[in-house]
Structure 1
Amino acid sequence: MTDYYNPICYTVTEQEEGWLLKTVLQHKLGVSRKLLSRIKLTERGVMLNGERVFISVPVKTGDLVSISLETETSEDILPEPLPFDIVYEDEALLIVNKAPGMIVHPTHGHYTGTLANGVVHYWQEKGEEFRFRPVHRLDQETSGLIAIAKNAYIHQHISEQLIAGEVTKKYAALVHGCPEPRDGRIDGPIDRDPLEPHKRIVTETGYPALTYYKVAECYGLGSLVELRLATGRTHQIRVHMTSIGHPLIGDKLYTRQESPEPDRPGMTALGLDAAIGRQALHAAELGFRHPLTGQDLLFRSPLPQDMESLRLRLQSGR
């Protein structure tokens, strides 16, 4: 017998009297064509007043429309007991504060030790079955907030908010120097570096990319910068900050040469890079509309210990 997640329901109003069931599903429950083509073929996928019907039937005021998705598992992900920080969880979502150094999803050569391995094990221990569906991803070295959807419907809705620019994604970074102006935007198309394909560069022929930044604290040799993404290109923050001469401290890929700091003889750019050992980037704020309740959710995460220690070092000048 096939198992299903809890149904997602909608009651038809007077204004929708006579609409086709398909129209209600798409415009009131927000079911995409791709998802609708999947669920209408399953036994309990689409129901009207508790009965399976064709999606071409008209609806009446007070009718109860419901959709149910089959439970899924990530059979290709090995469950592994790993520590990770849960910020929020309900029947639809899991919000995790990812530690630096942890890969989000298994890749070639990294089949274990990822966030996915830990989350799948955590769900199994609770007796729950979900497929690991991160709505967005973070680089291995980037710490901070990441949203994981528990089914295809939730993933679809948050992804649509991302595409529409309705998701709040704010980052905190420690960068070399102090950007001027202190509050600005970086509008620079991004594409692969033809000489080093694993890197990205700002180029006129690239894909549109826009980053807003604000210097929160300037320490001379480095700064704490708040960043907001208007687009989501690979390595966008790292590439954009490098393009204006203020790369992220600790970034091994988009690094800068060591330069003398005569006013701070004990501190150099290279010394700061070595002090943290990873790019000083943290996903500090994540906000979106809950697909089921419509409630606006906003999550915040403070600087992790390694970035806070580096910030204090910059502040003290040592």
Structure 2
Amino acid sequence: HKALSEAFADHGRTGDLERAYLALVWGIPQRPTGTIDAALGRAADRVRRAVVPESRDDARHAVTHFSVVERFGEAQQAFATASLVECRLETGRTHQIRVHMAHIGHPVIGDPDYGQAFRTKANRLPEPLKTKVKAFPRQALHAWLLEFEHPTTHLTMRFEAPIPGDMEELVGDFRKL
């Protein structure tokens, strides 16, 4: 238990832990892969996080590696575009993916805290996708992979979870753009 707790507390920096997420985000990142290395700290409201200077007292080092899995709507400039992005965490800070993706201009669809400025992008979508995006009840973010070394057997334990139905349906609707 102690070794496993240490691996999770280390956030995978020693390589004993791997976590991957899928996020449906607004827009299409300029590069198909990238690394966001930006410290996180408390935002003004104390519940949210924000990218802050490393010199700030509450700054915590945070690194997210991303790769674009699929692009939606780029051929039709009249519509809002979106991407399905895989995010792999080098660190594990509160709201890290949500803050980092918003920081580079691609907030997670359905994120009420870090994607507020993009809510009106749904108005540019054709029906019925417009209505579905506005009604999506949560962030379009899914933890699909967890891998770590078992502390006693030293075997690699790998757990994968398929995208939940509601998010898969939303991704499918974006594919129709």
Question: Could you say whether these structures have the same fold, taking a TM-score greater than 0.5 normalized by the shorter chain as the test?
Answer: yes
Alignment length (residue pairs): 159
Q: Which residue pairs with 1:185 in the alignment?
A: 35
Residue 223 of structure 1: CA displacement? Answer: 1.0
Partner of residue 52 from structure 2, selected from 203, 227, 236: 203
Q: Which residue pairs with 1:139 in the alignment?
A: none
Q: Distance in 1 between the 2:71 and 2:61 partners?
A: 29
- TM alignment of 1:40-79, pairs within 5 A: none
Give the TM-score normalised by structure 2. 0.83
Q: Distance in 2 between the 1:239 and 1:271 partners?
A: 25
Residue 274 of structure 1: CA displacement? Answer: 2.2
**AA at the equivalent of 2:159:** F
Q: Distance in 2 between the 1:245 and 1:272 partners?
A: 22
**AA at the equivalent of 2:25:** V
1:315 is the counterpart of 2:175: yes
1:167 is the counterpart of 2:17: yes
**AA at the equivalent of 1:249:** I
Q: Which residue pairs with 1:213 in the alignment?
A: 66
Once the two structures are superposed, residues 256-311 of structure 1 have per-residue CA deviations (whole angstroms, 9 ceiling, x without a partner) of 241453xx54478x756423210111110011111121111111111010110000
Residue 227 of structure 1: CA displacement? Answer: 0.6
Give secondary structure in 1 for the equivalent of 2:97.
Answer: helix
Give secondary structure in 1 for the equivalent of 2:36.
Answer: strand
Residue 161 of structure 1: CA displacement? Answer: 2.1
Give secondary structure in 2 for the equivalent of 1:313.
Answer: helix
Q: Distance in 2 between the 1:265 and 1:304 partners?
A: 23
Q: Which residue pairs with 2:156 in the alignment?
A: 296
Cα 1:267–1:196, aligned 2, differ >3 Å: closer, same or farther? farther
Which is greater in Rg? 1
1:280 is the counterpart of 2:129: no
Q: Distance in 2 between the 1:237 and 1:271 partners?
A: 25
**AA at the equivalent of 2:108:** L
**AA at the equivalent of 2:6:** E
Q: Which residue pairs with 1:242 in the alignment?
A: 102
Identify which of structures 1 and 2 has the higher relative contact order when contacts are C-alpha pairs closer than 8 Å and 6+ apart.
2
CA contact (8 A) 1:249 1:272 kept: no
CA contact (8 A) 1:251 1:280 kept: yes
Q: Distance in 2 between the 1:230 and 1:159 partners?
A: 17
Cα 1:272–1:191, aligned 2, differ >3 Å: closer, same or farther? farther
Q: Distance in 2 between the 1:285 and 1:217 partners?
A: 18
Cα 1:241–1:271, aligned 2, differ >3 Å: closer, same or farther? farther
Cα 1:218–1:267, aligned 2, differ >3 Å: closer, same or farther? farther
State the percentage of identical aligned residues.
41
Give the TM-score normalised by structure 1. 0.47
Q: Which residue pairs with 1:58 in the alignment?
A: none
Q: Distance in 1 between the 2:131 and 2:31 partners?
A: 26
CA contact (8 A) 1:251 1:273 kept: no
CA contact (8 A) 2:133 2:170 kept: no
**AA at the equivalent of 2:141:** L
Cα 1:286–1:211, aligned 2, differ >3 Å: closer, same or farther? same
CA contact (8 A) 1:172 1:226 kept: yes
